[in-house]
Structure 1
Amino acid sequence: MATQEKEISYYDLRLRELLNTSFPNMATNEAFIKERSDLAAEAYERAFDAGHTVLECRAIANEALFEGLHYSPFDTVYQVVCNEFEREIPADEARDFALKMFPYCVDMFEKYDLHQDFEGTKEYDSLYTELVGHIQIWIEENGLQ
């Protein structure tokens, strides 16, 4: 009895890598992954057919694949955990702790206009400070379990 293996595209793998690393809350959204992977493949094909170079085709496909995924709220939470709580949380436990904190912090991002260059803004600095306080309160109330 033969089993059919699911074909995974190059774009599927690239997107999954980014989602697993920086957008863990989206990493299991198979519909999103399929839609974006298909869009990227189609964008590459259209660009190639239009006479673009391979490098230009890749750039066009990447725009479709990663649209809206340039700023990662999870990466910010992880950065706060690593930078501000390094004495309390060992480096090898920081990602797991950030994953635990992320759902607790996610609402804080809603009042900000998150865009590609958000990290260099005053609003980012405000958010960062809020996250530090929010996580500190959580630790005080719950410990580091």
Structure 2
Amino acid sequence: METKKELSYFRLKLENYLSEHFPEMLGDKPFITARAGEALTTYCDAVAQGFSHPEAESMASEVLYRGLHFSKYDTLVSVLENEFEKELPSPLPERLSPILLKNKAVQSVFDKYELTEDFGASPEYEKLYTELTGTIVLLIEVNGLPTIGGENMT
């Protein structure tokens, strides 16, 4: 019974993280189940090897979040908040980002880059950021999206 409780703990922890940073992955139940199971195994093995619970928790978290450090969603929210602050006040960036993630033009911008774990700290990040900003400007103009303070609002 204890194992089931711990498994749901890691599942909830991962689902919470995904909802905040990778909402597009929330529907991937097989991934979530597998990753939560891996984290639980890591945690149990660490405790069995004599590591403290906080150390085991830290090791399990590394497994839980492996490959989930650079977020396209966070990047889009950041671009929208920083570059379109007046046109798209909060909470619009959080609401628009999942929609933009599905946009072919936005996807093709992300596809040009190798999005590694530490991509956010690389010089390429600035290029991606600039390109996303330009793409969003075009999407707003071409689609006549209503923005606060834009000519489209009546």
TM beyond 0.5: yes
| In structure 2, C-alpha distance between the alignment counterparts of 1:143 and 1:100, rounded to whole Å | 16
Residue matched to 2:31: 32
| In structure 2, C-alpha distance between the alignment counterparts of 1:107 and 1:60, rounded to whole Å | 35
| In structure 1, C-alpha distance between the alignment counterparts of 2:100 and 2:112, rounded to whole Å | 18
Residue matched to 1:3: none
Cα distance per residue 1:65-110 (max 9 Å; x no partner)? 1110011011001110111111111212221122221222233222
Shift of 1:52: 1.0
Asked if the contact 1:80–1:128 (Cα under 8 Å) also holds between the matched residues in 2, the reply is yes
**Aligned AA for 1:74?**
Y
| In structure 2, C-alpha distance between the alignment counterparts of 1:65 and 1:94, rounded to whole Å | 27
Residue matched to 2:150: none
Residue matched to 1:96: 95
Shift of 1:144: 2.2
**Aligned AA for 2:140?**
I
TM score, norm. by length of structure 2: 0.84
Q: How does 1:1-145 map to 2 (within 5 A)?
A: 9-104=8-103, 105-145=106-146
SS in 1 for 2:100: helix
- Structure 1, unmatched stretches of 5+, are 1-5
| In structure 1, C-alpha distance between the alignment counterparts of 2:135 and 2:112, rounded to whole Å | 15
Query: Taking every aligned residue pair, what percent have the same amino acid on both sides?
Result: 38
Asked if the contact 1:19–1:27 (Cα under 8 Å) also holds between the matched residues in 2, the reply is yes
Cα distance per residue 1:31-57 (max 9 Å; x no partner)? 011000111011100111111111210
Q: CA RMSD in A?
A: 1.7
**Aligned AA for 1:137?**
L
